[in-house]
Structure 1
Amino acid sequence: MDVGQSEGTGRDWFLAGMRGIASLPAIILMLSFVGFCAFTAQAGVPVEQVVFMTGIVWALPAKVILVGSIMSGANLLTAFIAVTLSSIRLMPMVAALIPEIRTSRTPTWLLLLLSHFVAITAWVFAMERIQTVPRQHRIAFFAGFGVTLVLANMLLVAIVYRFVAEFPPIIAGCLFFLTPVYFLASIWSSARHPVIYVALVIGLIAGPFFYWLAPEFDILLAGVGGGTLAWVVERAWRMKQRAGT
């Protein structure tokens, strides 16, 4: 849609969001879901449960944790806690996106509903494009992309499930790994402040160390530690600049 010619209607922007299914982030996520589908097929999870999981749990790492919990024989409460903890990482994404898409008249229930669709791919897609969308239509734009992305992946899982059971594990793993690689590359290329580069580098270096030290909490510790240390470094750098002036 040419924003310069016309702001369009909410329906127009919802359809514009739907067309994002053909974007690079969406395609990479769908390829990752093919790898996830192979993982669940080899784990013996029935296709109807995989489709349901795709729509309800949504974030791909959380689904992998859920399947792993099922395979290990963990009880329902343990699986619930593990999935919940893995999804806490999405809270900063929601906090960053909501101020960009809401208006003074946006109902809270709608924001809560749309927060379900906030994951790596939807967040990167929205943050890269939302500034070109008129504010009153940003909710419709994000909803069009988020809903379409979820439904498309549910349909994809239902179709390819029977064909991917014999995938070699290395292929399934590579497909699944596409999404975090793309996410890191997108964050690096779109970063506006040096502290983001520092946090990414520290997190990547600390990740293997924390995996060896505490594999159950490696991502959490690397993320919190990397972000905190990056904040300290940036604060010290700013104080030095101020002292120099």
Structure 2
Amino acid sequence: MIDAPENQTNIDASHFGWYRRGVRASFSVPGLILTSAFIGFAGLAREAGLSLVEAVFMTGMVWALPAKVVLIGAIMSGTSLAAAAFAVALSSVRLMPMVVALAPELRGPGTRPWVLYLLSHFVAVTSWVIAMEKIGAVPREMRTSYYLGLGSTLVVANMLVVAVVYAVAPSLPPAASAGLLLLTPIYFLTSLWGSARERASHIAMVIGLLLGPALHMAIPGFDLLVTGLIGGFAAYGWHRLRFTGKQSRS
């Protein structure tokens, strides 16, 4: 039997060590809030008529909670498969900028594209916020292992939560399930506000909060899309004007 080189053994141990650090990072206040929201999701899935296997499978495959809520809403309203798929895809487009921002931070020397494709499945607001906050302290060659530990633990843990809560959902008061589900958007908003690096992001969020309720009354079904477009373009325009003003003064 040929022993592995000592340096290779150390590298393997280092990768596993950073994977475990990623696992530990998932056990946090953001992770707890996300889990509480999945408690509400499990009750919603049962109410919509999904089986236990379907609810757990949806948690692992779709992962992002808003997309799952959109899918369940489409199922309950009898929407066609094509329309439901389009709605879920549209709701998930918001994750693309997060993937674009995180992927360069994860890429290290010799990182293969398929590894980044795999890790992008775990990108959602909670894992993204935790990773962007802590990834700078992780050696670049260990970042994929760290994020794999973080993202996979969040997914698997919440699949287990959904399975357990689905079985006991009838004993949960409906108001409690709904309240737990609402913790997630509250956390998303506060986390994104705190992690924003540009004032334009704050402007986009404020515009969204102001326009969202009004557009929901005026054009239900397209309110989120229109609100995002207006808020995004307005914030981008403000950012460009500010950048141009700085250049003219310098």
TM-score (ref. length: structure 1): 0.92
1:3 is aligned to: none
- Aligned partners of 1:204, 1:10: CA distance in 2, in Å? 42
- Aligned partners of 1:166, 1:77: CA distance in 2, in Å? 35
Give the counterpart of 2:53 among 34, 48, 51.
48
- Aligned partners of 1:166, 1:207: CA distance in 2, in Å? 34
Identical amino acids, percent of aligned pairs: 47
1:44-88 CA distances to partner (integer Å, 9 max, x unpaired)? 211111011111111111111111111122222222111111111
Report the residue type matching 1:227 in the other structure: G
Report the residue type matching 2:182 in the other structure: F
- Aligned partners of 1:189, 1:66: CA distance in 2, in Å? 29
1:58 is aligned to: 63
1:154 is aligned to: 159
Q: Trace 1:6-155 onto structure 2 (pairs within 5 A).
A: 9-155=14-160
Per-residue deviation, 1:157: 0.9
SS of the residue corresponding to residue 216 of structure 1 reads coil
- Aligned partners of 2:239, 2:197: CA distance in 1, in Å? 13
Report the residue type matching 2:57 in the other structure: F
Of 169-178 and 234-243, deviating more is 234-243
- Aligned partners of 2:248, 2:115: CA distance in 1, in Å? 47
**Aligned 8 A contact 1:42 1:165 in 2:** no
* Pairwise CA RMSD: 1.8
Per-residue deviation, 1:207: 1.2
Per-residue deviation, 1:21: 2.7
Structure whose CA Rg is larger: 2
SS of the residue corresponding to residue 69 of structure 1 reads helix
**Aligned 8 A contact 1:124 1:183 in 2:** no
Per-residue deviation, 1:208: 1.3
Name structure 1 gaps, 5 residues minimum: 1-6
Aligned length: 240
Give the counterpart of 1:222 among 222, 227, 236.
227
